[in-house]
Amino acid sequence: MARRIQSPSSINTYKQCPRKYYYVYIKKLQTLPSIHLIRGSIAHSALEDFFKVDVDKLPETEISLLLKGLLKDFLLQKWNSAKDELEELDMTEAQRLFYYEETEQMLMFWIEGLMKKLSKDKDGFKIAFKKWIPRTEEEYISEQHQIKGFIDAIHEVEDEIIVMDYKTSKRDHITPEYKLQLAIYALLYQEKHGKLPTKAGINFLRHGERMIDVDEELLKLARFEIEQIHAATESDLKDDYPRKPSPLCKWHSGQCDFYDLCYDKSGKLKQE
């Protein structure tokens, strides 16, 4: 059987719970919408529009204020465009407003950090902005490794190449799951372009950037985990994907989309 094309998300889903992987990637069962996924998509889309701003058309004296205003406008437009998705969630209007305002605060924190960084460039803010603008949402597919991924932002400034991902999560550090994601992005970039990124990082929009160096050890991690997932997912049989009970099955405010397939009404694992 041909290998399935994997992704950082599919690998991390398998590591979290093989049975969840089976339901999502083999049975392709529908997952429930989530405010965190919808909000993350909205924030990414707003940033994409922001990266397209032509700063040459903005007056130098008011550029900081105008860029912040534009980013707020992009967020509002994307939020309104997702109105139907947001209304499908089991949330009150007050809860939706809370998440909107929290997302706006994240983006304002992010742009403040960007302004500080670019204002230090000796060539001036506008030139620095144009040098900094990344390529965005590029899909990379490796036929050799049967792996794919969307890289949020690729900064190529002078001798530096940085692959970046943007997160709206409360975390502020690179977890093993995030490190694997960045390792795969670095491998995909290296395979396509024949050179290694200098660094890989995550911008936690509410906390700032966290970076790691890209080296052969990071690529070895990516190759190892890719081979592991291919070896573990050759079968289409449910029994080959055991359940992995953990706090991620059910928590104080929610539960796994497939909780009811694994647990009975008393909260005990169903017999198989």
Q: What is the pLDDT of residue 32?
A: 87
**Residue 139 CB coordination number (10 Å):** 9
Q: Does residue 112 form part of some domain?
A: yes
Q: Does residue 9 form part of some domain?
A: no
The answer to whether residues 160 and 126 belong to one domain is no
Q: What is the pLDDT of residue 53?
A: 94
Q: What is the pLDDT of residue 61?
A: 85
The answer to whether residues 91 and 167 belong to one domain is no
Which of residues 131, 162, 189 is at a domain's end?
131
Evaluate whether 150 touches 136 at the Cβ level (below 8 Å): no
The answer to whether residues 173 and 262 belong to one domain is no
Q: How many domains does the chain have?
A: 3
Q: What is the pLDDT of residue 2?
A: 67
CATH of the domain at 178: 3.90.320.10
What residues are paired with 269 via a beta bridge? 263
Segment 162-181 mean pLDDT: 94
Say if residue 65 is exposed, middle or buried (CB neighbours under 10 Å; 0-12, 13-18, 19+): exposed
Condensed to tens digits (0 to 9), the pLDDT of residues 207-252 reads 999 999 999 999 999 999 999 999 999 999 999 999 999 999 998 8
The answer to whether residues 47 and 99 belong to one domain is yes
Q: What is the pLDDT of residue 121?
A: 85
Which of residues 131, 166, 182 is at a domain's end?
131
Which of residues 108, 131, 154 is at a domain's end?
131
The span from the CA of 178 to the CA of 174, in Å, is 6
Condensed to tens digits (0 to 9), the pLDDT of residues 178-213 reads 999 999 999 999 999 999 999 999 999 999 999 999
Q: Does residue 259 form part of some domain?
A: yes
Say if residue 59 is exposed, middle or buried (CB neighbours under 10 Å; 0-12, 13-18, 19+): exposed
Q: Does residue 192 form part of some domain?
A: yes
Segment 156-180 mean pLDDT: 92
- Inform me whether the pLDDT recorded for 171 exceeds 90: no
Condensed to tens digits (0 to 9), the pLDDT of residues 16-58 reads 999 999 999 999 999 988 999 999 999 999 999 999 999 999 9
Q: What is the pLDDT of residue 137?
A: 86
Condensed to tens digits (0 to 9), the pLDDT of residues 123-147 reads 888 999 999 999 998 999 999 999 9
The answer to whether residues 146 and 164 belong to one domain is yes
The answer to whether residues 206 and 253 belong to one domain is no
Q: What is the pLDDT of residue 1?
A: 58
pTM, entire model:
0.92
The span from the CA of 28 to the CA of 40, in Å, is 22
The span from the CA of 201 to the CA of 221, in Å, is 16
Q: What is the pLDDT of residue 272?
A: 86
Q: Does residue 174 form part of some domain?
A: yes
**The domain containing residue 259 runs over which residues?**
246-272
